[in-house]
Chains A and B, each alone.
Chain A
Amino acid sequence: MAGVMVEVKNLSKAFGSHVVLDDISFNINENENFVVFGRSGTGKSVLLKCIVGLLVPDKGDIIVHGKSVINLSLEEMNEVRKKMGFLFQGSALYDSMTVRENLEFPLIRNFNFSASEREAKVKDVLEKVGLLQAIDKKPSELSGGMKKRVALARTIITQPELILYDEPTTGLDPITTKEISQLIVELQKDLNVTSIVVTHDLICAKIVADRAIVLRDGKICYEGDITGLETADDLFLKNFFSGELVEADSGEK
């Protein structure tokens, strides 16, 4: 049986009086594709940022590979981060650098690879995402889907054990959405990584998810497999997954 990669225990986070995450707990197993669903503003991205240390939770604990990541020093957190990858919603490619420089950036600063080893790694990950021809282009010359692929390549180039995807298919057309989602699954199989995918995109979730949680008002309102989500009786989940407003929370049509 696979071990636990991430444990989230009684996590809470508020911004002023607005409670975003309210005492949530769940586990993510090794080599699992775990999807976090929820409407916009329900704290999905906040959850990811807490895991990677960009935000500090108000309460609770996050344990990655058996080690708590709360209250670590910057040096200790960076050691944990070297084993993680993060795909940002807007790709977050460094726009002053070419694709090659973007990919080499973490390699130069965190590892001792020679120039030829770096070159081989860059070409290898670009081949994996099907964008070898874009190696010397600037991010401004790439389409939204291509940027996502390059960002994905930058995420996997350091061979992380855990990849966090923040809305990986937002703003993409349905075909590109499927391509990116399939790429996430292929990479998970190839690299044996654990993935946490935050999304509200049903196409992406259906392709990617081994297991999912749904966040609502800062709490987990569903935890289980994706097929269970589609057949759930809960009105909120029905509305969410049908994409139609069957009946609002207040009972109005």
Chain B
Amino acid sequence: MNNLTKDQGNPVAFSKSLTNFFETIAGLSLFSMRFFKDVFLPPYEIGEIKKHMDELGIKTMPIVTVTGFIIGLVLAMQSQPIMKKFGAESFLPGMVALSVVRELGPVLTALIFAGRVSSGIGAELGSMRVTEQIDAMEVSAVNPYKYLVVTRILACTFIMPILTLYVDFLAILGGFIAIALSEGSSFQLYINAVFRSLEFTDLIPGIAKTLVFGFIVGSVGAYKGYNTDGGTVGVGRASTSAVVMSSLLILLTDMVLVRITVWLWPA
């Protein structure tokens, strides 16, 4: 984006930036489409998928724990005075729960996951590319896309809903702490209010979205890493641009998915 703005004065550089942008979009689309072809081909590398899920889960757990809890806490603290003003304090638990489950939980978890995991995948595959490890797999008659990319995309796609449910739980807990500290409300009362306002259909759109977000994080990180060139500088570039691109795509996709989920599962 910066390049586009910077290059606006120079038509040649601007057109080059624009070409690069569309090349990246086309490259990413083709790269991601290959996933749907290779995912059904044996061997299925279940062990690798499990290993990546473990690693990604452990890597992201501390930061999502803190973020999830604080989001719920802050949301309740910020909303409480306004709700009080309108005499709608009893709706506070439901408001926290709905906001977290339908939107904040999935999107924030995805953004944190993108920052932590997409860059990691970009750097890992990028360094494998520049040290010829990916070429070594290819000449060993092993499909590196299948072994390195498909396993990581699947791991990201499967782990995202689990992390999101965990963040949702912590955020709702954070909301309770905020209300309990100011009002002294009981946990039982809070949970009852939460479950009264939440329905199972509220959970589905949030979780469905996270599958898409997980796929984006995995495929963007892998795309950037797999196509790294330019040595160690290229690895750094792949890592950074993976975070930027996946975060941007998560937010853009969310706009579309919100429309679809509201249409499919109206609140």
- What CA separation (Å) do A90 and B131 show in the bound complex? 7
Interface check B82, CB cutoff 8 A: no
Interface check A86, CB cutoff 8 A: yes
Cβ contact within 8 Å between B135 and A81: no
Interface string of B236-248 (1 = CB under 8 A from A): 0000000000000
Question: Nearest B residue to A107 by beta-carbon distance?
Answer: B140
Partner of A88, one of B43, B135, B142, B147: B135
Cβ contact within 8 Å between A92 and B141: no
Partner of A84, one of B132, B139, B143, B147: B139
Interface check A52, CB cutoff 8 A: yes
Interface size on A, residues (CB 8 A): 23
Interface check A78, CB cutoff 8 A: yes
Question: Nearest B residue to A83 by beta-carbon distance?
Answer: B141
- What CA separation (Å) do A105 and B133 show in the bound complex? 12
Chosen A-B contacts, 19 in total, with CB atoms closer than 8 Å, are A53-B139, A54-B135, A54-B139, A78-B141, A79-B141, A81-B138, A81-B139, A82-B141, A86-B136, A88-B135, A89-B132, A92-B133, A92-B136, A93-B133, A94-B128, A106-B140, A106-B142, A109-B43, A109-B140
Cβ contact within 8 Å between B138 and A54: yes
Q: A54-B138, A105-B140 are in contact. List 5 more A-B contacts (CB 8 A).
A: A54-B139, A82-B141, A84-B139, A106-B142, A158-B140
Cβ contact within 8 Å between A88 and B132: yes
Cβ contact within 8 Å between B142 and A95: no
Cβ contact within 8 Å between B142 and A110: yes
Q: Give the top 5 A-B pairs by smallest Cβ distance, nearest first.
A: A92-B136, A78-B141, A92-B132, A106-B140, A81-B141
- What CA separation (Å) do A95 and B128 show in the bound complex? 9
Question: Nearest A residue to B142 by beta-carbon distance?
Answer: A109
- What CA separation (Å) do A54 and B144 show in the bound complex? 13
- What CA separation (Å) do A82 and B147 show in the bound complex? 17
Contacts of B147 in A (CB 8 A): 109
Cβ contact within 8 Å between B142 and A105: yes
Task: Tell me how far the C-beta of B65 lies from the nearest C-beta in chain A, rounded to whole angstroms.
Answer: 26
Binding site for A on B (CB under 8 A): 43, 128, 131-133, 135-143, 147
Cβ contact within 8 Å between A86 and B139: yes
Contacts of A95 in B (CB 8 A): 131, 133
Question: Nearest A residue to B127 by beta-carbon distance?
Answer: A95
Task: Tell me how far the C-beta of B148 lies from the nearest C-beta in chain A, rounded to whole angstroms.
Answer: 10
Contacts of A53 in B (CB 8 A): 139
Contacts of A78 in B (CB 8 A): 141
- What CA separation (Å) do A105 and B140 show in the bound complex? 9
Question: Nearest A residue to B147 by beta-carbon distance?
Answer: A109
Contacts of A158 in B (CB 8 A): 140
Task: Tell me how far the C-beta of A91 lies from the nearest C-beta in chain B, rounded to whole angstroms.
Answer: 9
- What CA separation (Å) do A151 and B195 show in the bound complex? 59
- What CA separation (Å) do A84 and B135 show in the bound complex? 14
Partner of A94, one of B43, B136, B139, B141: B136
- What CA separation (Å) do A198 and B43 show in the bound complex? 34
Cβ contact within 8 Å between B131 and A92: yes
Interface residues of A in 193-226 (CB under 8 A from B): none
Contacts of A94 in B (CB 8 A): 128, 133, 136-137
Cβ contact within 8 Å between A88 and B136: yes
Interface residues of A in 21-43 (CB under 8 A from B): none
Question: Nearest A residue to B45 by beta-carbon distance?
Answer: A109
- What CA separation (Å) do A55 and B132 show in the bound complex? 13
Cβ contact within 8 Å between B131 and A52: no
- What CA separation (Å) do A158 and B140 show in the bound complex? 9
Task: Tell me how far the C-beta of B149 lies from the nearest C-beta in chain A, rounded to whole angstroms.
Answer: 15
Question: Nearest A residue to B134 by beta-carbon distance?
Answer: A92
Task: Tell me how far the C-beta of A60 lies from the nearest C-beta in chain B, rounded to whole angstroms.
Answer: 20
Interface residues of A in 50-91 (CB under 8 A from B): 52-54, 74, 78-79, 81-82, 84, 86, 88-90
- What CA separation (Å) do A78 and B133 show in the bound complex? 17
Question: Nearest A residue to B136 by beta-carbon distance?
Answer: A92
Question: Nearest B residue to A97 by beta-carbon distance?
Answer: B133
Question: Nearest B residue to A151 by beta-carbon distance?
Answer: B136
Contacts of A79 in B (CB 8 A): 141
Question: Nearest B residue to A48 by beta-carbon distance?
Answer: B139
- What CA separation (Å) do A94 and B124 show in the bound complex? 11
